[in-house]
Amino acid sequence: MRNPKDRINTKTAHSARVYDYILGGKDHYPVDVEAGDAMCRHWPALPVHMRENRRFMHRAGRFLARERGIEQFLDIGTGLPTSPNLHEVVQEITPASHVVYVDNDPIVLAHARALLNSAPEGATAYVDADMQDPESITQSPQFRALLDLDEPVGLMIIGIMHFIRPPADRELVRRLLEPLPSGSYLAMTIGTGDFAPEEVGRVAEEYERQNMPMVLRDHATALSFFDGLELVDPGVIQVHKWWPEADQLGVLDSDIAMYGAVARKP
């Protein structure tokens, strides 16, 4: 099998590596540093925004495990392993939890072993698949082995929807939810320019220049992704305001360009 590192393009910036660089990781290249620095010049709050997006994932995972008893998760668009990963968060609460990670980025695949260090009682797996082909995920051996579709699943779509352009976006979420049983949950974050339109707009333009086109959505559009689902309070809100921890109370709204929500499938 071809080494996944052989598929990595080090001549153009990649969203996962830019994210890694801005968050202080080590799995990136000079082209990603250049792109990340340009984005931060446009909007110095970008690192705060990215950290809060990831913290939302942690809180949503804990909420689903602790408050709703979810013991199996499907994490779409996983990105580079950055501890704590989802399985580390939920297995602290329920060690027997199962987590299936999905991404189709060769650099993520090259580092996927860090996602497979499960608690002995639980299990994790990584699926190298395109989220825009949901059937390749749900028909994968890893999905079938780890997720019991007679029990609810926590579907996590974090920090990826702004790279999915309409009209495919809502249909994609529907297709990912469709095979999951009643009582499953969707946790999702959605990029927006509602709170710092000029600065975030310039970041979006920089992504476009780097051949990473993105779509920003207003609150009404973000809300529409949850049509037919039962939103958990406080609904669709900036990620730092969803069940915040004490040290998040000082985060400025203007520093966050992401809505987040958790909703139940009836």
SS3 state of residue 116: coil
Q: To which residue do tokens 């939890």 refer? A: 97
Distance CA 183, CA 70 (A): 9
Pairing outcome for strands 230-231 and 258-264:
antiparallel
pLDDT band at 7 (very low <50, low <70, confident <90, very high): low
- Which of 12, 21, 23, 18 shows the shortest CA–CA distance to 57? 23
Summarised one tens digit per residue, pLDDT across range 216-262 is 999 999 999 999 999 999 999 999 999 999 888 789 999 999 999 99
Helix axes 86-93, 46-66, angle to 10 degrees: 30
Q: Is 201 exposed, middle or buried (0-12, 13-18, 19+ CB in 10 A)?
A: middle
Residue 2 scores a pLDDT above 70: no
What value does the mean pLDDT take over residues 78-99? 93
Gyration radius of the chain's alpha carbons: 17
pTM of the model: 0.92
- The predicted-structure confidence for 8-63, as pLDDT tens digits, reads as follows 777 888 888 888 888 888 888 899 999 999 999 999 999 999 999 999 999 999 99
Residue owning tokens 């749900």: 138
Cα 89 from Cα 69, distance rounded (Å): 14
Classify burial at 198, counting beta carbons within 10 Å of its beta carbon; exposed 0-12, middle 13-18, buried 19 or more: exposed
Helix (H, G, I), strand (E, B) or coil at 236: coil
- Tens digit of pLDDT for each residue in 190-200? 999 999 999 99
Report the distance separating Cα 198 and Cα 59, nearest Å. Answer: 29
Query: Which is nearest to 67 in space by CA: 266, 265, 262?
Result: 262
Strand partners, 155: 74, 186
Kindly report the CATH number that applies to the domain delimited by 4-264: 3.40.50.150
Cα angle value 182/186/187 (rounded, 5°): 155
Q: Which of 254, 263, 164 is nearest to 215 (CA)?
A: 164
Lookup: tokens for 103: 């991404």
**Once rounded to an integer, what is the mean pLDDT over residues 172-184?**
96
Domain boundaries along the sequence of the chain: 4-264
